[in-house]
Structure 1
């Protein structure tokens, strides 16, 4: 109640502090709901319409459409939101006064976040997506990111009011829980164009508004202790200790925050360096087409074996800072141009990184808190590594195959790495002793990628607070079940197994590494990395069996790899339980130490960053083909050599530029499966599809043991079937058979990689299989392939035959051995060969087809005799829309030019 007092009392006006919170709540809700009501009454059909659909598919407006697109609702909203700013600033100020404590920095930080949120709220409400889409998104994302520390800080600083704390936790959980389905339905709308998805998204978006305002409304329960004079009438600011007992009761200090950041980032650097080794080693057998000798550098991970040298061990333990700084050579390696020297630099960085971490963990093993803090930094760093790879389309921005030209942030990463290493090692040592195939049958990276990170984070928290549970045999059985499902089943069921495996593995990290750190570091880390190297080789040889000694023995035996891994983990579970059973120490009490809360909060922040990266990665959805008015398809085939160029740089940016400049509508990519440890667990198709605005079919997955075949298309992929062709001796031959919607007609496309030259019988069987497969469709079709045959000879005459119905794009091109384009039922109008520059070892071959409007027109084309069909004409005799870009004539650009016959070939219309 408000009241007045005389001047002698020193108070002119007083009112209860809860009115600040209630006025903020009332005016904020009025701003949004009045705009919704007025907008629905005056412009309903306009504000429910989006870029793809309108009423009745979409029937509820989004927040941005409601508050930003039409008059008068926009003006009404902005009027009330301006009025809201007064109570809002007062609310933040009163909260700071209520929670400030001598010697505590957290209230100041939370208060600053409250002010920052207020300003960014003004940014996204007054700059709408219609005004400036980029700045609207920047302010919105900044607001959401700042909401995390504001929410967690308010819960941590809550006065001992159980009712208010309970409401804050419930509302905060609802707010952050709403983010996941909201992002999911936004991607369903934006990427998959699902009718009605934006309406569902709108409901979640409005829910965020309601929860956000409601969270701050809870301050009314705390502000009731205030009488705005301003005077504390119940002693809420008397200096009582902050309530503890949960992960959010965080006593904030900048020193501990910087320590956490350093540990997490240094952990991220470790995973970045170690995972880069396989990518850089892979370059050399790739170009030597066999064992190159450089593979020996994978043994650099066994550097912890140096701890076996007792005279050397004290020197290593007392020079940890030097070791950790030396490990950054693995990040600085991007400065080295020569691949061989760059590989040795990476190898040195890996050896120093493995040695330095083993040394540090061993040194910290006598102090439970410091040891667990380092392990947490390592695990959260792993989650951050996955997040950064997602944000960079499965590349890591600080890998040595990245640089500024292809999206790398190596320099920034190195500077931060130095700062993190210095902070990480500031305390003295304590002891001297990773659009889909159609129909969609499984998860999609942009939509479901966060689920993996969430599973890893959940496993981390369970392992942190329930170590006894995760080291039980029951938990191990669950982990084995997940691994078995992941290995044996594809699609969604296999992904559920993957989530179970990810959760289990991160949960046992803390007890496993803690147990390992307390034992002989030579065995646990040195021999451990030696076994790791064996398993890494093992999981590559299941595919590379044709190129390595004894390879056929492990052909396609991924199940053996998984059995080996889970068996070794079982040994670890056994050892932990034996150690606990024989130890006389009392059972470990659950601790509420600060480092746990900091790292749990860091894991939460990394999850928010992942969701922000999801929004950042929303593709352009510009699926428009380059020449729709001509009914033209420009199709290409390219063997991309696992997206590593001749100088060991990741090549997807250069690939994108060439594909875009050549106006390619459909392209088949071979040697495209990068989802193995030694290849960096990458996926170039994600970047190319999202950046170029193309649908994508990844093709047979890593569990099919091929080198990969992928399809990118400007035209919708209506259906796709994956094939593994007969390969009794050599490497497995993958193929994709997809049906596209091309200007209203169904057109089939085949992407295929044949076996190697040495495997004659394999190639014969594969040619028969493909001939029958291509002959099974009577629709217009084209093949984008790697055939390993000479023109007009041998197996060529099975691919180009009456059974397949296919024709060669240019039978007079005698200088081919690997790449071929075949077609039927289409009007072939152009053919070109474009040099690769230094991107890969194979050129990009292109063909231009005009799609007949009717089946009768296709049949008439098929009735033409060979001579008429293959009659060539000058470029001037074909329409401009059919011509290849002139920029690649002569010397071309960036090392790309028309070659072999120096210019494109055109055929009589």
Structure 2
């Protein structure tokens, strides 16, 4: 029981020695923990210094252990931060212990102690890798301050002979250690003696241990102190209200009071999570439809007929039939479970039947969700909950793709071998459906069920189409709008990681606006903000364009619950049929602008993403106009409700009708998702990969070109991991990828380069973004990309031809790399103009060594080939004798070519891999008429191609230019 004092209750007390012990333990854990982790994970790297490595040097220095590598650096910084609290308390307690009237020395020692603590934080969190000069300034300042601190503490020591004895011993050992420390540092730094740095490291670690031990002696002095916490006003007995209580009491009739009530229900929280997961499953199934359809025109090289599957979203028209509508509403659980067939589609091996399975799931899912909203229209708070869950599902889907490198792990193109989590996703989906569909639908006789005559179902349907399309095309992946504004190196705008989390934050913020301020959302000023954001995203690049993207993301998410809640008051059959039908029209529209060369009527909308964006915003405007009318008339019931009904359906003040504390659980889910997005960004940002070429000692560049066919293999599986394996095993340093732009609904809004770059440890330039209307080209490089420029080559008739002109820093020499995809065979004039443009670019823009990684659509020695390989371009063919080429070519100049190979594609794509090896700094290759073919045994080991692909090769990949027996 706490002791009663005159001026309050003692609620806690403890001995002052625990301040010293807490400081000592935390400090030793910080240093020794980092040492243990460093030796366990990066032993050879942290014993390496500027002159020697293992085995000459075999013990790491303090600075190499705590400052260079993750996670040991983080272990040290975490526990040294924990140490800071006890450290400040120790310094203050020492002052209280030693202070005397009119004595200045205790104040001086106090100042020195505080200064040492702050400088310790300086060299801890500004490592030598971050800023070597400031790290040294902080470290030297700390060491200099150690002398007056040590001497001052000895001089002020209380008459405790044990404490004084140990202080003198530790201080003597500390200063004595400085002599050999300096000696062996000079031996290492000046005389470069092998092993000297290891001996220096032992003395350096001794200094750390002695420094902490010196301060640990204060435990002997502080044991006579007792730290006491007293309650002067009875707050610990619950007599005083907390700030949150006062705010909630004051706001009890407003939004915050209703949403964030102190009471909390685990059951309601579980229900909200289950609802949100159902929303996640809906968006996962819907977004999988496009990428499943895309497989067929991709392999047919044109209209295949399977494109009609996109119309599977129009199933809500069946709700216009009363018996069907009643049956669906009475059996919502059954229909939600049937929609989960889309999660089972990965088990279907045939691409055709897999697509049909997804079509069925989308058909059922769209109808079921509309029926769910319609069933809840008479209970606004339940309707809001369902709408919140549906919107949260999109955010969750975007986060899942953010965490899984733009692939949704439960898509039908995923399975165990390529990162799929299909079984887990299906199991959770079944539980979520069973949980969230346990409630009953609203009674048809409720006041809101009678509908409203306000607004227009036509305009409401158009509004739905605009919102659905904007959510799917722009927000279903956090990197889509970032790639719209990407302009290459040097980086002048956002990048997918970490800024994808900002897109997700904007989406969550917009959803809160839609839930809490629907009147604001329906204002024309708000629509003006959304339109300005759309204009900036479409017309500007880098940060300016991205600011517009964030504004548009917030506005679109705010519109979703407001426009849907207004539209559900109209007959659902025709309203949502029109919404999804026009959404499908927009899906085709935004593909036609780039696929114009392959579709009927395509040239009419060629390269008109601006038309797509304008149409989207106009449709949203139609929805806003209709919802404004609906919101002013929907509160007028068709009959006078009873007093009980009035009370039951009383609108919440300042928010969507029927808002209640139920909303809080969906807000909690949103906050949890946003934290997950931030954590994902942090984890991916701190995944450090070695950006090191495969053969630096030989100054070798292995360059490759590959047409990856949009990262869908022959069997409709996502192929990133298979691509990663072969690129790694071929030891490619610089890789050009073609047909790589996947940032459209029909392609799943994906970005293959994120996974390849992060997993392989390569810099990446995505190339011209999705608003540039190309099929894409990308560059991966083990070498830093100093600068890159994107080009759209002349294409008056056919598809646009993208190119990247990048400058890389390879072994301290600037090398130009061109990645290029020529136009299609049917447009010879386009290809002629493109060949002249690129030849001029390669020949006149730079006189540096250069490599072209390309798709030229020509035969060797014929036609446009002689423009690419010419005096104008200055480029040479890597192997003029290879007659069996049509599409892919590697050209070069200013480098010494050492090897060339073609590798079969297996079932990953429809095009082989071509690889060339070049040595930097050797000058021009020999004249072509003097080229000699050498046996690999006569070449340095680093110049040779991996033997893994000889003969039969591995996993279907083999060399097929060496004329080898299989």
Query: 2:562 matched to which residue of 1?
Result: 511
Deviations 1:31-69 (A, max 9, x none): 899889999xxx99838973289xxxxxxx977435659
Match 2:902 to one of 820, 833, 837? 833
CA separation of 1:543 and 1:235: change in aligned 2, threshold 3 A: closer
Change (3 A) 1:344 1:222: farther
2:885 — aligned with what? 816
1:550 matched residue in structure 2:
601
Matches within 5 A, 1:98-117: none
Which of 910, 927, 941 in structure 2 is aligned with 1:880? Answer: 941
- Whether the 8 Å contact between 2:67 and 2:73 is mirrored in structure 1 is no
**Counterparts in 2 of 1:780 and 1:21: CA distance versus 1, 3 Å:** farther
- Maintained 8 Å contact 1:669/1:709: yes
Extract unaligned runs of 5+ from structure 1. Answer: 6-12, 54-60, 81-185, 203-219, 905-909
Show the 5 A alignment for 1:386-405.
386-405=398-417
Pick from 332, 350, 354 the counterpart of residue 344 of structure 2. 332
Cα distance in structure 1, aligned partners of 2:289 and 2:704: 32
| Inter-partner Cα distance in structure 2 for 1:623 and 1:801 | 34
Which residues of 2 match residues 117-266 of structure 1 at below 5 A?
225=234, 232=237, 234=239, 245-246=256-257, 247-266=259-278
Displacement after TM superposition at 1:401 (Å): 0.7
Deviation, 1:248, is 3.7
Change in CA separation of 1:882 and 1:391 when aligned onto 2, cut-off 3 Å: same
Note closer, same or farther for the CA distance 1:384–1:578 as it changes in structure 2 (3 Å cut).
same
Asked whether the equivalents of residues 279 and 678 of structure 1 are also in contact (C-alpha less than 8 Å), the reply is: yes
1:798 counterpart residue number: 867
Conserved 8 A contact 2:804-2:820: yes
Q: Write the distance in 1 (CA, Å) between the matches of 2:25 and 2:713.
A: 53
SS of alignment partner, residue 740 of structure 1:
strand
- Relative distance call for 1:344 and 1:584 in structure 2 (3 A) is closer
Pick aligned residue for 2:809 from 727, 730, 741: 741
Q: C-alpha deviations, 1:661-686, integer Å up to 9, x for none? A: 11110000000001111111111111
How many Å separate the matches in 2 of 1:658 and 1:233? Answer: 66
CA distance in structure 1 between the partners assigned to 2:241 and 2:785 by the alignment: 64
Q: 1:901 to 1:33 in 2, by over 3 A?
A: closer
Distance 2:680 2:941 in 1: 41
CA deviation map 1:229-280 (0-9, x unaligned): xxx484989xx99856444435211210111011110001111100110001
Distance 2:21 2:591 in 1: 58
Separation (CA, whole Å) in 2 of partners of 1:273 and 1:532: 16
Match of 1:570 in 2: 621
Contact in 1 for aligned 2:376/2:383 (Cα 8 Å): yes
Counterpart of 1:593 (choices 646, 653, 660) is: 660
Change (3 A) 1:566 1:809: same
Contact kept? 1:250, 1:594, Cα under 8 Å: no
Superposed CA deviations along residues 805-864 of structure 1, whole A, max 9, x for unmatched, are 111111111110000000111111111111111111111110011112xxxx41xx25x3
Cα distance between partner residues in 1 of 2:326 and 2:566: 21
Equivalent of residue 535 in structure 1, options 565, 586, 603: 586
Are residues 20 and 75 of structure 1, via their aligned partners in 2, closer, same or farther at CA, if it must alter by over 3 Å? closer
Match of 1:209 in 2: none
Post-superposition Cα deviations, 1:547-603, rounded to whole Å, max 9, x if no partner, equal 000000000011111111111110111111112334554976236622211111111
Instruction: Work out whether residues 316 and 370 of structure 2, in 8 Å CA contact, stay in contact via their aligned partners in 1.
Output: yes
**Contact (CA 8 Å) 2:597, 2:799: kept in 1 or not?**
yes
Change (3 A) 1:28 1:469: farther
Deviation sequence 1:472-516 (CA, Å, 0-9, x none): 111011101111111111111111111000000111211111111
Aligned partners of 2:30 and 2:78 also within 8 Å: no
User: Is the partner of 1:741 in helix, strand or coil?
Assistant: strand
Q: Which residue of 2 aligns with 1:50?
A: 67
Once structures 1 and 2 are overlaid, which stretch shifts more, 248-257 or 666-675?
248-257
Higher-Rg structure is: 2
CA-CA distance at 1:715 after TM superposition: 0.4
Q: Secondary structure at the match of 1:314?
A: helix
Whole-Å separation in 1 of the counterparts to 2:306 and 2:784: 43
TM-score by length of 1: 0.76
Alignment of 1:224-623 (within 5 A): 225=234, 232=237, 234=239, 245-246=256-257, 247-431=259-443, 434=477, 437-583=488-634, 585=636, 589-590=653-654, 593-617=660-684, 618-623=686-691
SS at match of 2:377: helix
Contact 2:26 2:80 in 1 (8 A): no
Q: CA deviation at 1:440?
A: 0.5
1:622-701 correspondence runs (5 A): 622-701=690-769
Name stretches of at least 5 consecutive residues in structure 2 with no aligned partner.
33-59, 91-124, 139-228, 450-476, 478-482, 637-649
**Which of 867, 877, 889 lines up with 2:929 in the alignment?**
867
Name the residue aligned to 2:219.
Answer: none
Tell me by how many angstroms 1:781 deviates.
0.7
Q: CA deviation at 1:414?
A: 0.5
Change in 2 beyond 3 A, CA 1:24/1:271: farther
Q: Distance in 2 between matches of 1:629 and 1:802?
A: 33
TM-score (norm 2): 0.72
Partner of 2:76: 65
Residue 702 of structure 2 aligns to a residue whose secondary structure is: strand
| Aligned alpha-carbon RMSD (Å) | 3.7
Whole-angstrom CA distance in 2 between matches of 1:889 and 1:821: 21
Q: Does the 8 A contact of 2:26 with 2:83 survive in 1? A: no
Quote the residue 2:3 is aligned against. Answer: 3
Q: Does the CA-based 8 Å contact 1:732-1:755 persist in structure 2?
A: yes
